Structure 1
Amino acid sequence: MKEFTIEKNDAGQRLDRFVTKTVPLLPASLLQKYIRLKRIKLNGKGAKQDAKLALGDNIQMYINDEFFEAPSEENAYLKITEPQLDIVYEDENILLVNKKAGVLCHSDGAWSYNTLIAHIQAYLYAERAWRPREENAFAPALCNRIDRNTQGIVIAAKNAEALRVMNEKIKNREVEKYYLAVVSGPMRPAAGKLEGYIFKDAVKNQVFVSDRSVAGSKTAVTEYRTLAVQNGLSLLECRLITGRTHQIRAQLSHAGHPLLGDGKYGSGKTNRQYGENGQALCSYRLVFGFKTDAGILQYLSGREFKIAKVDFVEKYFNIN
């Protein structure tokens, strides 16, 4: 139990707002529940959440210690009582989740609890598949990341050995990643390979593509094939050979076929023509093509997982 005495600067505010400020990790649903159950008391008695606080009031909080910790990415899961996840596959070692466009994989500098990793950890915590107070070091972690505005499958490891093996397989390119992309105009040829060099401007958080090597650049290779052409748009399946930042978006733009809805590398005119402000890119399929032993994950070798429905495919091509 923790006690707080209301000082001059806190007098006059509501009880629930004081608790929210004092215990930032406490979810709103638990705050309401704890007030109702009198686990949060005002001057030794139960009180309503809109009770006004006065100078010298005493507040007692019967709340677990972890909720009083300073907010960080490591404890953001505590803020989530109803995890929002679209699970593609799960077993005792890994979790494959369909990340929605607009969702961050991790916090982007400022603390945020509404990230994919926080929802995954909250889900595993609620399912008792992860007991953070009993773990010495490991917390469920992401093995790959996807841009905020891109939909797709993200791999999460439930234990340290699964994380080590999966990271090694991704590094050695034994996990094949396929994307669906809608671009402007027909590709010529209809299937092929985009090869070039990418260098990143960290200040602008933007990459640039060159046909020749320049200082600081890295090779970038993307295979593609056309699946459909309709109404001035092409649906492509792209396979990453290398995994550079914004690789598909930047290479398609450099090739003269910008991604539909892409606000950074795309065509504003084309985006306005189709009324599209969400980029039509989805990491929809994973193939675990292990070439060497995968230890505890060997059972995944040769298996393929994909997202059953991709909205922009149905919207523009009526296929999936």
Structure 2
Amino acid sequence: MNIPILFEDNHLLFIQKPVNIPVQEDSSRDLDVLTILKDDIKRRYQKPGNVYLGLVHRLDRPVGGVMVFAKTSKAASRLSDMMRRHVIERNYLAVVRGIPEKKKGQLVHYLYKDKRRNQVFAVSPNHKDAKKAVLEYEVIGSKKGLSLLTVNLITGRPHQIRVQLSTSGNPIYGDQKYGHGVNQTGEQIALWSYSIYMEHPVKKEPLGVNAFPSDTYPWNLWEEIGLKQINKTHSSLKDLLI
């Protein structure tokens, strides 16, 4: 399987994750992104033995878009620290059901993950296993009962965007787990990691990488909206995207 490489140097590898492929091996035993990339690096650089590739964040299996991997242990350690300090800007596109009450805002919930069921729930802040989840969003446009949002992930909780938007009354189009009451079987979830902005962990230079979803429904409802218009809502990304 060919996974698009968006940027690569000695320390980092940015890729466009295909939808419906796990990031790493799971109980399904399906081919995963990490294995594919390691095999690709081994082949391209004719590396003997095992290939190192550090996994520092994840995307849910049905979600596609930009991911960054570390090619060295130094980069992996620094990227992990940057993730913990929330200094890596991760922006998403989401098509949701309905129109959010506010055009722009911040969502704060406390989430609990039931590991046995692999499902996340919004709970009271007093729940003993609750973890605070924060995201920022802006509505880009609304058509045919759907709205296109940009989402800036402040914290990185499992299924966070999906649960927070659903809890707020606007489940993501095609999300079978957190929007089963309004979504139909077979619909592809409309959540996409479209950009990552960060300081290079070794070179200390600003670096931004982006990728957009394919021209399919429901994304093509907003085909007239290009990169420039969307990036107006994220001034920190200006002139930094590759």
Whether the TM-score (by the shorter chain) exceeds 0.5 is yes
Say which of 158, 167, 175 aligns to 1:262: 175
Does residue 115 of structure 1 match 2:32? yes
CA distance in 1 between partners of 2:173 and 2:129 (Å): 29
Matched-pair contact (CA < 8 Å) for 2:16–2:211: yes
Matched-pair contact (CA < 8 Å) for 2:56–2:68: yes
Task: Give how far 1:221 is off.
Answer: 0.7
Does residue 283 of structure 1 match 2:193? yes
Alignment of 1:7-18 (within 5 A): none
What residue in structure 2 maps to residue 68 of structure 1? none
Q: Normalising by the residue count of structure 2, what TM-score does the alignment of the two structures yield?
A: 0.85
Does residue 243 of structure 1 match 2:156? yes
Matched-pair contact (CA < 8 Å) for 1:162–1:297: no
Q: 1:30-69: per-residue Cα shift (whole Å, max 9, x none)?
A: xxxxxxxxxxxxxxxxxxxxxxxxxxxxxxxxxxxxxxxx
Does residue 185 of structure 1 match 2:98? yes
Q: 1:49-92: per-residue Cα shift (whole Å, max 9, x none)?
A: xxxxxxxxxxxxxxxxxxxxxxxxxxxxxxxxxx5111111112
Say which of 74, 83, 86 aligns to 2:4: 86
Structure 2: runs of 5+ lacking an equivalent: 227-242
Say which of 180, 187, 203 aligns to 2:116: 203
Q: Which amino acid aligns with 1:125?
A: K
Give the share of equivalent positions with the same residue, in percent. 30
Task: Identify if the C-alpha distance between structure 1 residues 226 and 106 changes in structure 2 by more than 3 Å, giving closer, same or farther.
Answer: same
Q: 1:237-291: per-residue Cα shift (whole Å, max 9, x none)?
A: 111111111001001110011110000001443x23xx8611100011111057x
Does residue 125 of structure 1 match 2:60? no
Q: Normalising by the residue count of structure 1, what TM-score does the alignment of the two structures yield?
A: 0.65
How many aligned residue pairs are there? 224
Q: Which amino acid aligns with 1:278?
A: Q
CA distance in 2 between partners of 1:232 and 1:111 (Å): 38
Give the superposed CA RMSD.
Answer: 2.0
Considering Cα pairs closer than 8 Å and 6+ residues apart, tell me whether 1 or 2 has the greater RCO.
2
Give 1 or 2: higher helix fraction: 1
Q: 1:98-126: per-residue Cα shift (whole Å, max 9, x none)?
A: 101101110113644x2101111111111
SS state at 1:263 partner: coil
CA distance in 2 between partners of 1:110 and 1:226 (Å): 36
Structure with larger Rg: 1
CA distance in 2 between partners of 1:211 and 1:176 (Å): 27
